[in-house]
Amino acid sequence: MKRVNEKELQHMLDMAYEAMAHAYTPYSGFQVGACLKAASGRYYLGCNIENAAYSPTNCAERTAVFKAVYEGERSFDAIAIVCSGNSPAFPCGVCRQVLSEFCGPEMPVLCANAHRESVLCTLGELLPHSFGREDLEK
């Protein structure tokens, strides 16, 4: 995993806000955007995409991960996540698990609210004792 500096994280926040503008949220009205940086140096953007049946809704983080994996990416350096709410949007449990498939516990996760107030943490802090492929081999 390559290090991502503060300037780059701020640039990723900008892109995450742009991604948030693509959100499809007729049910919750709550928009989320994500910017995922791959080890290749490319950025993948995602938004939440809701559904009338509710449970098929896809979070912004998973949209970004799935786009990237489809394109052949398998490892990532950082993710920035923004939302339209007053509190920074931390990834939901399902998204933490999906991120852990491809991202190490040291990966920076920058979460921000609608006013650009942000909290920086790592994936390992968000998902300690995660279940991974190594557990299947035990």
Residue reference for tokens 């983080």 = 61
Told to check if 32 binds ligand THU by CB under 6 A, we report: yes
Told to check if 88 binds ligand THU by CB under 6 A, we report: no
Q: Which of 4, 36, 38, 50 binds ligand THU (CB under 6 A)?
A: 50
61 is catalytic: yes
Report CA 67 to chain centroid distance, whole Å.
Answer: 12
Told to check if 64 binds ligand THU by CB under 6 A, we report: no
Count the site residues for ligand THU by CB under 6 A. Answer: 14
Residues 100/130, Cβ–Cβ less than 8 Å: yes
Cβ burial, residue 49 (10 Å; 0-12/13-18/19+):
middle
Residue reference for tokens 């300037």 = 7
Told to check if 77 binds ligand THU by CB under 6 A, we report: no
Choose, from 61, 73, 101, 125, the residue flagged as catalytic.
61
Report the alpha-carbon distance of residue 6 to residue 43 in Å, rounded: 16
Q: Write out the catalytic residue numbers.
A: 61
Binding site for ligand THU (CB under 6 A): 25, 28, 30, 32, 48, 50, 57, 59-61, 89, 91-92, 95
